[in-house]
């Protein structure tokens, strides 16, 4: 049990270090939206979804409704449900229902990738260790960024606030360079988002995010359907 936990901690170390720097930017963003350091930390501790948290802060800052918030989080974070279904095939028999529920709250893109690539079955101790440092890095980075934003010069604080967006760019550019459908989906979503921002300004921030994602995905799904042999 201890060996599995320590192995998980070792595997989670690089994820935790990366999360700290990205969450630092989120902390600055949250404080910039008039969210207190404590509530910024609470958001990170209870969510751990960079895209979802960034979109959520924008909805809060814009005075969006709870329905906007709920639908925005559903669209952005739906992939975690698919990851959770996939990961259940790797869990060993010692996982009880409460432990499975806890693991479902620990899934992020990087944690999932590390867990699913591990050979053999996964124990609860390994998952606890794997999630430990990413959690510490994400929440600690958020708190550090929130406090630093009150001490740093405004110009530097503004620059640090784009860290989260830099991570998003770093995620999709490599994939977009290899996949034409992904590139078109990104460009379409960006164009629709700009349309909502400067023309259709009566649409709330949350609904603008939802519609941009859904329309771009549906359009590329229709233009570039996945063939049956590619799925296999």
pLDDT tens, residue by residue, 150-176: 777 666 666 666 666 666 676 677 777
Residue with tokens 């449900």: 81
Per-residue pLDDT, 55: 83
Q: Is 27 exposed, middle or buried (0-12, 13-18, 19+ CB in 10 A)?
A: buried
Q: What's residue 179's pLDDT?
A: 80
Low-confidence ranges of the chain (pLDDT < 50): 231-232
What crossing angle do the helices spanning 2-32 and 163-178 adopt, rounded to 10°?
Answer: 110
Identify the pLDDT of residue 226. 65
Location of structure tokens 């995620």: 171
- Tokens 């404590």 correspond to 38
List residues bridging with 122 in a β-sheet.
91
Instruction: Tell me how many degrees the CA angle 151-157-68 measures, rounded to the nearest 5.
Output: 115
Which ranges constitute the DSSP H helices of the chain? 2-32, 37-47, 50-61, 66-87, 97-104, 109-116, 124-148, 154-160, 163-178, 180-198, 205-223, 228-231
Name the token pair of 224.
């570039």
pLDDT at 154: 67
In this prediction, residue 44 carries a pLDDT of: 92
């Amino acid at each position: 049990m201890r060996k599995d936990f320590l192995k998980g901690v070792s595997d989670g170390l690089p994820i935790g270090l990366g999360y700290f720097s990205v969450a630092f930017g989120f902390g600055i963003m949250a404080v910039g939206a008039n969210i207190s350091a404590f509530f910024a930390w609470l958001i990170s501790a209870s969510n751990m979804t960079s895209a979802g948290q960034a979109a959520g802060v924008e909805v809060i800052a814009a005075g969006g409704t709870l329905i906007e918030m709920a639908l925005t989080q559903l669209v952005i974070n739906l992939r975690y449900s698919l990851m959770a279904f996939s990961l259940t095939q790797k869990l060993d028999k010692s996982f009880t229902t409460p432990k499975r529920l806890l693991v479902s709250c620990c899934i992020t893109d990087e944690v999932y990738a590390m867990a699913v690539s591990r050979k053999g079955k996964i124990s609860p101790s390994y998952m606890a260790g794997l999630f430990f440092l990413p959690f510490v890095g994400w929440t600690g980075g958020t708190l550090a960024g929130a406090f630093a934003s009150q001490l740093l010069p405004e110009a530097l604080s503004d620059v640090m606030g784009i860290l989260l967006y830099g991570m998003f760019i770093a995620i999709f550019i490599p994939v977009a360079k290899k996949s034409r459908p992904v590139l078109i989906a990104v460009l379409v979503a960006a164009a629709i988002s700009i349309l909502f921002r400067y023309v259709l300004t009566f649409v709330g921030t949350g609904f603008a995010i939802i519609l941009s994602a859904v329309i771009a995905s549906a359009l590329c799904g229709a233009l570039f359907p996945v063939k049956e042999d590619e799925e296999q």
